[in-house]
Amino acid sequence: MGVCNLSPDSFSGDGLGNDIEAVVAQAQRFIADGADIIDVGGESTRPGIDPRAIDDTDAELELVIPAIERLVNEITVPISIDTYKSAVASRAVTAGASMINDIWGLKRDPGIARVAAETGVPIILMGNQRDAPPHTGIMARVISDLERSISLAREAGVPEENIIVDPGTGFGKSLEQNLEIVNRLAELKRLGKPILLGTSRKSMIGLVLDLPPEQRVEGTAATVAIGIANGADMVRVHDVKEMVRVCRMSDAIIRRGKISD
The C-alpha atoms of residue 103 and residue 48 are separated, in whole angstroms, by 15
User: From its phi and psi, is residue 243 left (phi > 0), alpha (psi between -120 and 50) or beta?
Assistant: alpha
Whether 184 is catalytic is no
Q: Can you give the pLDDT at residue 12?
A: 47
Domains detected in the chain: 2-254 (3.20.20.20)
Quick check: 56 pLDDT over 50? Answer: yes
Q: Can you give the pLDDT at residue 254?
A: 93
Name the catalytic one among 107, 108, 216, 236: 236
Phi, psi (5° rounding) for residue 210? 55, 55
Quick check: 250 pLDDT over 70? Answer: yes
Question: Is residue 142 a contact partner of residue 167, using CB atoms and an 8 Å limit?
Answer: yes
pTM exceeds 0.85 for this model? yes
Residue type, 180: E
Higher pLDDT, 256 or 35: 35
Name the catalytic one among 85, 193, 201, 202: 202
What mean pLDDT do residues 40-44 have?
87
Q: Can you give the pLDDT at residue 257?
A: 54
Mean of pLDDT over the chain: 92
CB atoms under 10 Å from CB of 76, counted, come to 6
What mean pLDDT do residues 200-219 have?
97
Residue 224's pLDDT band, with cuts at 50, 70 and 90, is very high
Q: What is the 3-state secondary structure (H, E, C) of 117-150?
A: HHHCCCEEEECCCCCCCCCCCHHHHHHHHHHHHH
